[in-house]
Amino acid sequence: MDQGLRGDVQVECILVYSFLKNCHNCDFSKELDSLRSQVMVSSPKDFLCVESDDGELQTDGNRSGRFQNGEPGSGFDEDVFQLIGAQLAEIGDQLAREIDQRVVNDLVLQFVNENLSRAEIMRRLSNTVEGLMRTVPLEMEREKAMLVLAMVLARTVANKMPSLLHRVFNTTVNYINQNLHNYVINLG
């Protein structure tokens, strides 16, 4: 079953891609490279609709322009989210040591099962993240822990079976978009 992306998930795509790209000892680098063209935008300007920008700075130091759809916050800096993904990968390396491999193996079997719907896979990923929350240090905020755990699970599943990377990536991006979008946007 197709595990495509839903809606506007560009920030989440960049974050998850950067997280995976900055993980050590991963066996899915070839598959990750094939995702790059889908994930990365050519320029952060793609997210800013600039009207009559003559390149001049405004008196407040900013360039003129308006956000796509007129919504503040529609624009974002891709580089910022790449950096955040890299930093979260370091935290993920620490949390990964606490994850029981049986949990990962069970999740791999669920991702392999083509009969499971997108919603069912997402529900199972969500349940797994919730179940692992007890392994997270108490001082880590809940949303950050959920974000890192979801990406660690994506990395671990893809490392066990690189052919699942696209499905795992899309499911993780959709999970983060559905459950942690506002938190992720506020990180930037």
Tell me the domains of the chain and their CATH numbers: 10-187 (1.10.437)
- Looking up tokens 């079953």 gives 1
pLDDT in tens, 39-76: 765 433 333 222 333 334 444 444 333 333 333 445 66
**How many CA atoms are closer than 13 Å to the CA of 99, on its beta-carbon side?**
27
Summary mean pLDDT of the chain? 81
Percent of the chain with pLDDT over 70: 77
How far is residue 139's CA from residue 147's CA, in Å, rounded to a whole number? 15
How far is residue 21's CA from residue 102's CA, in Å, rounded to a whole number? 25
Local confidence band at 24 (pLDDT 50, 70, 90 cut-offs): confident
Global pTM reads 0.78
Tokens of 120: 């069912």
